Amino acid sequence: MAGQNPKQPSTQYHHHVAALAFPFGTHAGPLLSLVLRLAAAKPDTIFSFITTSKANSSLFSQTSKASAFLNVKAYDVPDGLPEGFVPSGHPEQLIGFFLKAAPANFRIVMKEAEAGSGLKIGCLVTDAFFWFAGDMAEEMKLPWVPLWTAGSRSLLVHAATDLIRQRVLGTGGNAVKTLEFLPGFSKLEVADLPEGVVLGNLESPISSLLHKMGQELPKATAVAINSFEEAEPDVVNELKSRFKKFLNVGPFNLASASPPLLEDDSGCLEWLDKHKPASVVYISFGSVVSPPPHELAAFAEALAESGFPFIWSFRGNPDEILPNGCDKSSLNGKIVSWAPQVQILEHAAVGVFVTHCGWNSILESIVGGVPMICRPFFGDQNLNMKTVEAVWGIGVGIEGGVLTKQGAVKALELILRGEAGNEMREKIKVLRSLARSAVEDNGSSSKAFNSLVNIVTKHEEV
């Protein structure tokens, strides 16, 4: 993928920024979104976007927005897998190999990018997972700007892991159940924390990575995040006190100059036009994990019994999952293999979003003004759910933590027919308004983004 865009004369550019992307899950997309915004703001700067060929291929397709930017070039970094490697199907194994080889591999590719552009790299913008980039930036005497692609609450948990372990594990394990010693956490409990902080395997590769990241981020020139300050002011203020600079530059789905309108091949938006306001259920569990088949079947039964109209973005073959005797045509909705989520959530007919509680999905739901029913799986998703439910009051967790027919019907009725649903809609309108204000010209996210542009393109030895 290197040299995918035609080489430009080096005189056209005055700065060179290397962006190092984590190629797993949904990490690389948000980093590329940020790079494209920076590239639009600074056309005299060249951005070398470095990740695996697999990730680059999907991000830099011919139809992608990225292909229009002459000052953004994709470079491939090896995936670190040994020759003849046969994957076990466990993603942590692939991540482990990639990370072990990443520092040396990134250094080699950055040299190629410098040779290709004729300009020395002046700044490292990386996924926050790459805690080792701090050492690289120090060696190269460059600013380091990590991007945290999730929410500020989960970031504070990883930045404060040592304190949390001291308070929770240092007192016999069960003595402290709430987290009120952290600003903004009075409504959360130890059980809400991501696995690997105080519960589960504290030495797993991901747990170790996040712990090390939390310890290293304070030396970054600035930490950027896909969020807006007004969403969680207490948490943001605490992070500002821990980092040299903490820049909320989102929500990316609002802040991008012109988010691309995605094709609606299944006619979802036209179908929504025929429905009453706040009456339709939208279901999507993201692109990484799905609930097990018995939960999906239970949810299909809940939809059939309640009769609510729905759009279900379904990965796999629905015929293998739907309960016996449940004919798709008897359901009052659309089951599609892919849906334009942002546009669907902004449609007035959508009344509730059934989600895994990934951070991008939560931001899209806030911007759309749609309350959530949450079925989290791993990582920060449980913490996000408790934020949605207990802190913001804009959604509910599924009863018992797993999808059952009875629990799903209860949650759907609560939000689509109950007064509680109207209250959630009012609360989410306030958050949506704050998000929109943040990205306006004098808004907090716009000011933070201007500060980020200055850091990234003004190279002074650090």
Which residues are annotated as catalytic? 27, 127
Q: What is the 3-state secondary structure (H, E, C) of the chain?
A: CCCCCCCCCHHHCCEEEEEECCCCCCCHHHHHHHHHHHHHHCCCEEEEEEECHHHHHHHCCCCCHHHHCCCEEEEECCCCCCCCCCCCCCHHHHHHHHHHHHHHHHHHHHHHHHHHHCCCCCEEEEECCCCCHHHHHHHHCCCEEEEECCCHHHHHHHHCHHHHHHHHHHHCCCCCCECCCCCCCCCCEHHHCCCCCCCCCCCCHHHHHHHHHHHHHHHCCCEEECCCHHHCHHHHHHHHHHCCCEEECCCHHHHCCCCCCCCCCCCHHHHHCCCCCCCEEEEECCCCCCCCHHHHHHHHHHHHHHCCCEEEECCCCHHHCCCCCCCHHHCCEEEECCCCHHHHHCCCCEEEEEECCCHHHHHHHHHHCCCEEECCCCCCHHHHHHHHHHHCCCEEECHHHCCCHHHHHHHHHHHHCCHHHHHHHHHHHHHHHHHHHHCCCCCHHHHHHHHHHHHHHCCCCC
